[in-house]
Amino acid sequence: MSYATLMVYVNVDHASRALVSVSADLADRFSAKLIGLSSLAVVPPVVAEGVVVVDHASELELAQMRKSLAETGEKFRAAAGVVRDTEWRSALEIPTDALIRESRCADLIVIQKSGPPIDFYRAADPGTAIMGTGRPFLVVPGGLKTLAAEHILIGWKDTREARRAVWDALPFLRQAKRVIVIEICEGDQKEAAHHQVNDVVLYLARHKVRAEGRVETRLMGPGAAQIMGFAEDEGADLLVTGAYGHSRLNEWIFGGMTQDLLISTTICCLMSH
| Helix extents (H) in 103-180 | 126-133, 160-168, 170-175
Are 84 and 135 in a shared domain?
yes
Task: Output the pLDDT for position 139.
Answer: 96
Task: Output the pLDDT for position 47.
Answer: 57
Task: Output the pLDDT for position 251.
Answer: 45
CATH number at residue 253: 3.40.50.620
The answer to whether 58 touches 4, Cβ cutoff 8 Å, is: no
Are 129 and 227 in a shared domain?
no
The lowest-confidence range among 26-40, 103-117, 119-133, 250-264 is: 250-264
Residue 158's pLDDT band, with cuts at 50, 70 and 90, is very high
Segment 216-225 mean pLDDT: 82
**59-72 confidence digits (pLDDT tens):** 888 999 999 999 99
pTM above 0.85, yes or no: yes
CA 176 to each of CA 3, 29, 125, 148: distance values in angstroms, whole numbers, following the listed order: 15, 13, 29, 9
Domain assignment present for residue 146? The answer is: no
Task: Output the pLDDT for position 218.
Answer: 87
What domain range includes position 133?
Answer: 5-140
Task: Output the pLDDT for position 252.
Answer: 45
pLDDT at position 51 over 80:
no
Task: Output the pLDDT for position 60.
Answer: 87
Task: Output the pLDDT for position 209.
Answer: 98
Q: In whole numbers, what is the pLDDT of the chain averaged over residues? A: 90
Q: At what angle do helices 256-264 and 223-234 cross, to 10 degrees?
A: 50
Segment 83-103 mean pLDDT: 95
Amino acid at 8: V
Last residue of a domain, one of 140, 167, 193: 140
CA 135 to each of CA 37, 50, 61, 78, 127: distance values in angstroms, whole numbers, following the listed order: 15, 42, 33, 26, 12
pLDDT at position 45 over 90:
no
Residue 138's pLDDT band, with cuts at 50, 70 and 90, is very high
**221-251 confidence digits (pLDDT tens):** 677 889 999 999 999 999 999 998 655 444 4
Cα angle, residue 92 at apex, residues 56 and 248 outer, rounded to 5°: 90
Are 165 and 132 in a shared domain?
no
Are 162 and 97 in a shared domain?
no
Residue scoring higher pLDDT (254 or 47): 47
Last residue of a domain, one of 113, 140, 167: 140
pLDDT at position 271 over 70:
yes
Q: Which residues contact 211 (CB under 8 A, 6 or more apart)?
A: 154, 173, 179, 180, 181, 200, 201, 204, 205
Task: Output the pLDDT for position 190.
Answer: 94
Domain assignment present for residue 145? The answer is: no
Are 128 and 157 in a shared domain?
no
The lowest-confidence range among 23-27, 163-167, 202-206, 258-262 is: 258-262
pLDDT at position 32 over 90:
yes
In the chain, how long is the greatest CA-to-CA distance? 65
Cα angle, residue 133 at apex, residues 241 and 89 outer, rounded to 5°: 120
Distance of CA 23 to the CA centre of its chain: 12
pLDDT at position 54 over 50:
yes
Task: Output the pLDDT for position 182.
Answer: 97
Pairing of strands 151-155, 238-242: parallel
Residues forming beta bridges with residue 247, ordered by sequence position: 252
Are 107 and 204 in a shared domain?
no
Cα angle, residue 209 at apex, residues 149 and 179 outer, rounded to 5°: 45
CA 14 to each of CA 11, 69, 114, 123, 143: distance values in angstroms, whole numbers, following the listed order: 5, 12, 11, 10, 12
Total of domains in the chain = 2
